[in-house]
Structure 1
């Protein structure tokens, strides 16, 4: 699947009535259920679309301790103790990086409720109380801007979109910060 095909297949129509925190909680639950799978473009699309209507994971107050956006390098060095583990070591790190991004963004949004999220000019950019910059606050805009960022950095939109578990975290983080 190409970047353009992936972008065209994100069904944003069903995202209208779900706030971003709830959407991300549902996406987290779905990702955790699929973590043994190799993430393909088709599976990523399914996760993004299913999160529109799936039951969300319960919010964990421990996530409120998260202050900084995840550093992907921390997770890419993950090790496994099992020599028979069929999952590649990098896939494990990439999965946990994406989970960390989801928890970080969920916690940030939770902290901004009734405060920064009420700012009518928030789509021009706001800083959370932990100093992290946000430009997008709903599922549609975060996915759209995340894909815009991906597509702005490839030579050809018809280039093959190589997907891994890291792609999910990168899509969400680029969507949070991309104007």
Structure 2
């Protein structure tokens, strides 16, 4: 894998990963427990490299998951001292794992209408229940993944393209003049990581 330097680079790498893992049968709870095992290795880091972030997401599909701990049930309502910290990401993962574990115990994950949104037994809202859809929505919600797809299409279709402004008025622009949602992203902060996880759970 090449060096990740922008959010576009990261989105493309994650999209490739999801294509490779589309048939993976690992549940989201097990995925997140494997992800948590990897995240715990960075407890002393202020931030992580974008390549390391990608490797953690990849590890969720193939890494050894932590066993479910009943102690996590007691940590569910804990709040970190710093919401932009490793501890915040760790607690977010623990809460999501507990939610999924309890939803499975209550038979809620068998509900065919769950993708319209269901509340966990502890009242958290959920829209995504498999690793691939979770990561797709995390990318779209936190890395501007949807706009990046449009950006790639614009670059592949040079010349004048049809646009839609905020008032839903149609117009045209030269594709080269349209702003790009690409941003530098060589490191991922814990706050960015937490937003990514939140979008995985709640972004539609």
Contact 1:98 / 1:170 at 8 angstroms: preserved in 2? no
SS of the counterpart of 1:163?
Answer: strand
Cα distance in structure 1, aligned partners of 2:100 and 2:37: 17
Q: Identify the match of residue 146 of structure 1 among 120, 138, 142.
A: 138
2:62 is matched with 53
Deviation digits for residues 50-93 of structure 1 (CA, Å, limit 9, x no counterpart): 1211100111112123555x76xx4327xxxxxxxxxxxxxxx5
2:42 to 25, 34, 43: 34
- Shift >4 Å, 4+ stretches: 152-155
User: How many Å separate the matches in 2 of 1:75 and 1:42?
Assistant: 27
Report the more deviating stretch, 129-138 or 153-162: 153-162
Inter-CA distance 129–66: structure 2 relative to 1 (3 Å threshold): farther
With the length of structure 2 as denominator, give the TM-score of the two structures: 0.71
TM-score under structure 1 normalisation? 0.80
Residues 1:100 and 1:156: Cα distance change in structure 2 (over 3 Å)? farther
1:14 and 2:6 correspond: no
Mapped partners of 1:14, 1:98: distance in 2: 24
Match for residue 85 of structure 1? none
Gaps of 5+ in 2: 149-178
- The 1:67/1:36 distance shift into structure 2, 3 A limit, reads closer
Distance of 1:146 and 1:133 partners within structure 2: 15
> Larger strand proportion, structure 1 or 2?
2
Aligned residue number for residue 23 of structure 1: 31
- Listed as ranges, the gaps of 5+ residues in structure 1 are 78-92
Q: Over alpha carbons, which structure has the higher Rg?
A: 2
Name whichever of 7-16 and 161-170 sits farther off: 161-170
